[in-house]
Structure 1
């Protein structure tokens, strides 16, 4: 139907993201300047258009390169604390900082699908009758 569908599932900041080349992704804040490059090596799954490789826990040798497109603040989240009958209340807010990454290329690093395991032979309990 369409072109080759290459994508990877990566982990960053304890969260998982499905990324494709050229995509913009908002991840937790990295201490990098705008325009810097970064290699994300925690690739959990890789689809190169022909085969799907699932890591255990990561795919060995696979990397995703990205460049920092900028830094943004997320939506404001409010927390409200209220105590009845004492006229005590407090409202606080928080805005999470994010780094916007532009995904460059997905490097497979020669990752190949593991062959299926052979089933183990069942152990039999043989009784030996050596005189003792």
Structure 2
């Protein structure tokens, strides 16, 4: 069992260790359900790290879905001076909170 890994999900990369809680792009998994990440880019740390080309063969990171939610509201305001052009838009990003339970290589 390795101590940390780098996984790819939702178009982003995350450095994770067992016990970490992270917010990732929303997944269609039930709360309390197990989830497995197959796109592992790096496993281990220091001299015994295994770097994938691009993925580490046979490596998996497992986690537990803690909750689903929505982030803070962001306000997008477009404005052109002297042209009476003003546009206001709000956005809230959906996320899934995951706790990492295991890293296997």
Please report the TM-score for the alignment, with normalisation by the length of structure 2.
0.90
Shift in Å, 1:7:
0.2
Could you tell me which runs of 5 or more consecutive residues in structure 1 were left unpaired when the two chains were aligned.
109-132
Mind listing any 5+ residue stretches in structure 2 that lack a counterpart? Answer: none
Q: Which runs of 4+ in 1 moved over 3 A?
A: 83-88
Deviations 1:48-91 (A, max 9, x none): 67611000000000000011000121122211122444534221
Q: CA–CA distance in 1 between the matches of 2:61 and 2:45?
A: 13
Q: TM-score, normalised by structure 1?
A: 0.72
Q: What is the total number of aligned residue pairs between the two structures?
A: 104
Q: Flag the 1:92–1:52 CA change in 2: closer, same or farther, 3 A.
A: same
User: Alpha-carbon deviation of 1:102?
Assistant: 0.6
Contact 1:26–1:98 (CA<8 Å) still a contact in 2? yes
The one of the two structures with greater contact order (alpha-carbon pairs below 8 A, sep at least 6) is 2
1:73-92 matched pairs, under 5 angstroms? 73-92=70-89
Deviation at 1:95, TM superposition (A): 0.5
* Larger proportion of strand: 2
